[in-house]
Chain A
Amino acid sequence: MKILVCISNVPDTTSKINFTDGDTKFDTNGVQFVINPNDEFGLTRAMWFKEKQGATVHVANVGGPTTEPTIRKALAIGADEAIRVNAEPTDGFFVAQQLAEVVKNGGYDLVIAGRESIDYNGGMVPGILATLLDMNFVNTCISLEVDGNNATAMREIDGGKEKISTSLPLVIGGQKGLVEESDLRIPNMRGIMMARKKALNVIEPVDAAKATQDAKFEKPAAKGAVKLVDNVDDLINLLHNEAKAI
């Protein structure tokens, strides 16, 4: 089985978020980037397929040269080879078209993407990708088994789970559940050393339309000051007289 894990490069959740250029661009200054958590669950599951079922695992990222440390980390965790499509991932449709090209050329049986990336939360890449490739698609996937050409996946649905049987070639939009947080891997030194020698192929993007453009970003309004009150009477008094809520 040949697996492609699509990884996006996202700010660490502790990063301070700021915008530049009249609030149209994300300010990357001083921001630490990591593998998108949903993709990391997928990558870890792919490592399981590699170790238990002899799968080959490639990772792909659409991004500029600054995403390479994140890609190299995926190689250090154990992916066999990486592809970076040299373009800014500004729009989900554009990214999906680039990845579709990678999948077509690489002949993958299984494509594991994250349900969404935690930076822009677009959530459209895996769905568009499956459509462009005419492959089966399972979104919000929380478990995946593959036996020959058959796949069994579990989806998170409102208030429960849905078990699906499908077949390869398959695209999934994965999330936590594929593996648990405690299964995530820290690259060890041997992995880091091996990653030095693994191929990180940079390819130029194909011509593809962008369906959207960022017009403006806004940060949530700053939180107001907190007041601590000792008893219910004071609370009612404040709600009534100050907040005028009751």
Chain B
Amino acid sequence: MRPDLFEAPDYYNLDDLFSEEHLLVRDAARQWVKRDVSPIIEEYAQKAEFPRQIIGGLAEIGAFGPYIPEEYGGAGLDQISYGLIMQEIERGDSGVRSTASVQSSLVMYPIYTYGNEAQRKKYLPKLASGEWMGSFGLTEPNHGSNPGGMETKFKDMGDHYLLNGAKLWISNSPFCDVAVVWAKNEEGRIHGLIVERGMEGFSTPETHNKWSLRASATGELIFQDVKVPKENLLEGKSGLGAPLGCLDSARYGISWGAIGAAMDCYDTALRYAKERIQFGKPIAAFQLQQKKLAEMITEITKAQLLAFRLGQLKNEGKATTAQISMAKRNNVEMAIKTAREARQILGGMGITGEYSIMRHMMNLESVITYEGTHDIHLLITGMDITGHAAFKG
């Protein structure tokens, strides 16, 4: 891959709205991605492998639970800082950002929010430092958009729970040390359980041959009569609302992350268009290319403003699920369209691994599907504004 020359677009001087600490956190993440992610990520995506050597670096820049309080190993930062870190990581690669999102919002967040003090103390510091990696098991082979129908279940055996079932499409599964798993009890109510690698009957086969998020490891979580200690139950909240609360946090991060991918595609295409000469002129001088670039920066700017405002709401504890859905849906679609247009600006060069665009484009096909598909987020907005849930037809 070519050297990373990224310059972040900030058309509306959003930097003026960020605090000194936001900028410090963002710039550190930006510098780290340039130094440690960009030079290796193409190779790892090509060979479909997660670059495990960057886990320490991710922890150092605060990518794991930045908003978790310091006493549990987090950084006690606000939600805008979290968003900015996700943006910068996804500027490098959506797969790496996925690993950070899962660790922060889907593993540390539920342990912090629904866990008891002993669970927080046991797991959070090790997850924040990257010593342990986590995964989140909600989706099942027969239940994707409709997780409420899940079949994974656990039984109270007196001194432990007995867990059976299978989860599919689980980010980080192949190497996770702990998994936050959602399963139904005998009454059919959904609860979260912390399952640890090494528990008998627990396996994590990898899902191969993905064309997307190739630098992120995805797999299954299989539970065959796994004995889970009772103290591993997340007692703070049960019902479908518990996993959905985690998704709110992750989707919020994705709404920032997607901007990063889009910024990288735009920046690459703009630079290329100014340098590439055809018919005696830089292709940036042709109206058709300008239309693409002008629309991209317009959409990126709108997405930045949306994410920023959502970050303020989130900081105040006021962001609703529906508001988060709108931002996730809008920003990911914006990013995927930006990637497609940017790829065309690069012509044949756009399909090679010399440039990051095609990798972003393929990655974003997962991002537009996971954490609620593009359709499902539309239905959430629809339900919010009409009062009618249209999920069931």
A155 within 8 A of B: no
Contact yes or no, A69 B75, CB < 8 A = no
Cβ–Cβ < 8 Å partners of A76 in chain B? 24, 28
With A14-B7, A30-B10, A30-B13 as contacts: A189 and B24 at CB distance below 8 Å? no
In the complex, the chain A residue whose C-beta lies closest to that of B59 is A189
Contact yes or no, A186 B20, CB < 8 A = no
B242 within 8 A of A: no
Contact yes or no, A193 B20, CB < 8 A = no
Give CA–CA (A190, B75) in the complex, Å.
7
Give CA–CA (A30, B15) in the complex, Å.
9
B114 within 8 A of A: no
With A30-B13, A186-B35, A187-B28 as contacts: A192 and B7 at CB distance below 8 Å? no
Query: Chain B's interface: helix, strand, loop or mixed, by majority?
Result: helix
In the complex, the chain B residue whose C-beta lies closest to that of A69 is B20
- In chain B, residues 372-391, which have Cβ atoms closer than 8 Å to a Cβ of chain A? none
A210 within 8 A of B: no
B319 within 8 A of A: no
Within the complex, what minimum Cβ distance (angstroms) separates A74 from chain B?
11
B333 within 8 A of A: no
B66 within 8 A of A: yes
Chain B count of residues within 8 A CB distance of the other chain = 22
Cβ–Cβ < 8 Å partners of B75 in chain A? 189, 192-193
Within the complex, what minimum Cβ distance (angstroms) separates B107 from chain A?
18
Contact yes or no, B76 A73, CB < 8 A = no
Which of B20, B31, B70 has most A Cβ within 10 Å? B20
In the complex, the chain B residue whose C-beta lies closest to that of A191 is B28
Contact yes or no, B61 A186, CB < 8 A = yes
Within the complex, what minimum Cβ distance (angstroms) separates B371 from chain A?
25
Contact yes or no, A72 B24, CB < 8 A = yes
With A186-B35, A192-B62, A192-B75 as contacts: A73 and B13 at CB distance below 8 Å? no
B23 within 8 A of A: yes
In the complex, the chain B residue whose C-beta lies closest to that of A14 is B7
Contact yes or no, A189 B7, CB < 8 A = no
Give CA–CA (A14, B8) in the complex, Å.
11
Contact yes or no, B21 A196, CB < 8 A = yes
With A30-B13, A193-B75 as contacts: A69 and B24 at CB distance below 8 Å? yes
Cβ–Cβ < 8 Å partners of A192 in chain B? 21, 24-25, 28, 62, 75
Within the complex, what minimum Cβ distance (angstroms) separates B7 from chain A?
5
- In chain B, residues 18-72, which have Cβ atoms closer than 8 Å to a Cβ of chain A? 20-21, 23-25, 27-28, 31-32, 35, 59-62, 66, 70
Cβ–Cβ < 8 Å partners of A193 in chain B? 70, 75-76
Give CA–CA (A186, B61) in the complex, Å.
9
Residues of A participating in the B interface, judged by any CB pair closer than 8 Å: 14, 29-30, 32, 68-69, 72-73, 76, 186-190, 192-193, 195-196
